Amino acid sequence: MSDSPLSHRKIIHIDMDAFYASVEQRDFPEYRGKPLAVGGSPTGRGVVATASYEARKFGVRSAMSSRKAIQLCPQIIFVFPRFDAYKAVSRSIREIFQRYTDIIEPLSLDEAFLDVTQDKLQIGSALEIAKQIKKAIKDELNLTASAGISTNKFVAKIASDINKPDGLTFIGPSKIETFINNLPVEKFFGVGKVTAQKMNNMQLFTGADLKKLTEIELVKNFGKAGHFYFRIVRGIDEREVQTHRETKSLGAEDTFTYDLSTVDEMHKELDIIAETVFRRLQKSQLKGRTITLKVKYNDFTQITRNFSYTHPVGDFETIFNTAKQLLEKVDMEEKTVRLLGISLSNFGEPETKPRKPRDPEQLELF
């Protein structure tokens, strides 16, 4: 790794600390020092978007239902999101980044990758640049950020999560191998609870354990992601910081005020969601070949089903009808539904190899 030209890259990952909640606590002094959740009301079907660190001490986390949050922390304060305010702060943060580099890859309003291999101010040290960025965010915006610095995106992103909030972690080329060897598999990008449990069942608990498997073995057990795992446990991540990220998918989803129990109810909601997706596709001038249906049950388990066409589609009728057909293939298992979503992806060029048209009743489910 240390002999590779890529080892000379200087990548910073900046991640704002409890961003939405921190903005609220900054703007409204009465919230400071108190457990706070930004999200939907606990009296409805709301979900926590961000929790302050005071709330996290009680186990409140992002994506948790608001009802669950108030059970864990009865004194928690709920506020609705002010996205215009968050976007304005995000623009100010980006302006700070641009003092040092134009090679910026925003991942969301509150985090971004920066390539400072050649920085504008000729500082030369990524660690020093990260320190200056954190200080500017604190002094000018009265917010804190955590920074991870390394030679690739994978390690930099994980490093930024160490010592939060207000963390600063540098993992140099000579430290990457040891860092990844000791890294729990749950921390690897793309490893969710199900995959982590599968790895644990195979006695794979750390990067060092994953490194014992061949690439063929990793692909056999984990599909295409196995190629990524094989390279990343060896510290190989050649992904560049992309100033213009390609849109991978576009969609919409809705969490309902009450659980849906009949197909007619679900069709009515899919109609509305499909219309939203259609309008967003038109606005973005995109068409996709893969339509995905997302279903979340009342017990918070969720599944996805998708179908790929041989040609790009983007009209409302195709989106809506495909979603309905995919829903027919879903086993409701006597559960009710709290969320439905539709998304389109695979915006690239269509396949050149012709495929025999399939009957709608023969949709492929994955």
**Rounded Cα gap, residues 305 and 328, in angstroms:** 10
- Exposed e or buried b per residue across 171-180, where buried means at least 16 C-beta atoms within 10 angstroms of its C-beta: bebeebbebb
Q: How far apart, in whole angstroms, are the C-alpha atoms of residue 168 and residue 147?
A: 5
Q: Which of 59, 51, 15, 17 is nearest to 34 (CA)?
A: 51
Query: What pairing do the DSSP bridges indicate for beta strands 302-313 and 249-260?
Result: unpaired
Q: According to the annotation, is 299 in a ligand binding site?
A: no
Q: Is 259 annotated as a binding residue?
A: no
Write down the H helix ranges in the chain. 19-27, 53-56, 66-72, 83-97, 126-141, 153-160, 176-181, 193-201, 207-211, 215-222, 225-232, 263-284, 316-328
Q: Quick count: other Cβ atoms within 10 Å of Cβ 56?
A: 18
Catalytic: 111?
A: yes
Helices and strands, counts by H and E, the chain: 13, 12
CB distance 362 to 286 below 8 Å: no
Q: Tell me which of 111, 246, 265, 275 is the catalytic residue.
A: 111
CA 90 to chain CA mean position, Å: 17
Return the active site residues. Answer: 111
Report the binding-site residues: 15, 110
Report the binding-site residues for Mg(2+): 15, 110
